[in-house]
Structure 1
Amino acid sequence: METIKTLNKWANGHTYLPLDLLRIALGAFLFIKGINFMSDSAMLMQLFKPMENFAGGMIIIHYVAPAHFIGGILIAFGLLTRWAIIAQIPILIGAIAINFVGKMDTNNLLLAIVTLLVCGFFLFYGSGKHSLDYYFKMQQ
């Protein structure tokens, strides 16, 4: 817990508007991907075709779209940012793994790697000063 407080103090002391805009863009991207997965479930099933024999395949399919949808909203507003990113990390690792198990799509692989790296950054950096987390913390 002390480590998180130290990271939050550092992040709030070194926050910049471009980083907050990057966090908002990441949240918007994940939100849009969640909407895409919800509206085109056949495409999501096609993505998971190489991994259909693994246990829990249907649970994974029902986890991805809502996690992107809700997590994107939370990340964009900076509310429970670290928790929302922790929910995204297994999905992004799976997105990278799908490219190696199934048909290799370099655009999707690159997009998943960049998104994972940005999520990893915000996992340690936090939500920053221009977020609901910071606003609610200051209200206490």
Structure 2
Amino acid sequence: MNMMDQIEHWGDTHHPAWMDFVRIALGIFLFSKGISFISDTARLSHMITGLDLHLWTVTAVHYVAFAHIFGGFLIAMGCLTRISALLQIPILIVAVFFVNFRTGFSYLNSELWLSALTLILVIMFAVVGSGRYSMDEWMRTHNK
């Protein structure tokens, strides 16, 4: 059994049912944040422009918006949760350490705290997986 199988097995056996509600809330939050970004691409483009990506700004704006929309939907449904969570990690690392951290490390910077909490939750669900009440579990039990 390799390391990834051991992590997956540990995550599947240590996943209480209440964490499924946290996963669903996280997915809904990411989905709504993606909708927010796609409806106001100028704001997201302004945030990313400060990172000096130049030609990659348009690509980064679309990647962030669509990764949040589709990844949030998949996380909320519990379908391919680990992969969807892994795709969110680079976005959230940039959000925490490069975008929101520049505005100041204070309790008034709610975007920083929200991004940090979201990053922690996404990392947690990348390890523990989707849980009992998910499409992954339903497909696993009904596929046999």
Amino acid at match of 1:124: V
**Counterpart residue identity of residue 30, structure 1:** L
Alignment partners' CA distance in 1, 2:134 and 2:99: 33
Q: Equivalents in 1 of 2:136, 2:14: separation in Å?
A: 16
Contact residue 15 and residue 128 of structure 2 kept, 8 A: no
**Number of residue pairs matched by the alignment:** 139
Q: Structure 2: how far apart are the matches of 1:128 and 1:22?
A: 11
Give the letter aligned to residue 80 of structure 2.
L
Q: Would the alpha carbon gap of residues 2 and 56 (structure 1) be closer, same or farther in structure 2, given more than 3 Å must change?
A: same
Q: Does 1:69 align with 2:72?
A: no
> Which residue is 2:42 aligned to?
42
1:78 paired residue number? 78
Residue 115 of structure 1 is matched in structure 2 by 118
**TM-score (norm. length: structure 2):** 0.86
Q: Distance in 2 between the 1:108 and 1:128 partners? A: 28
Deviation at 1:55, TM superposition (A): 5.2
Matched position secondary structure for 1:51: coil
Q: 2 CA distance for matches of 1:2 and 1:47?
A: 40
For residue 132 of structure 1, what is the aligned residue in structure 2?
135
CA distance in 1, matches of 2:27, 2:123: 14
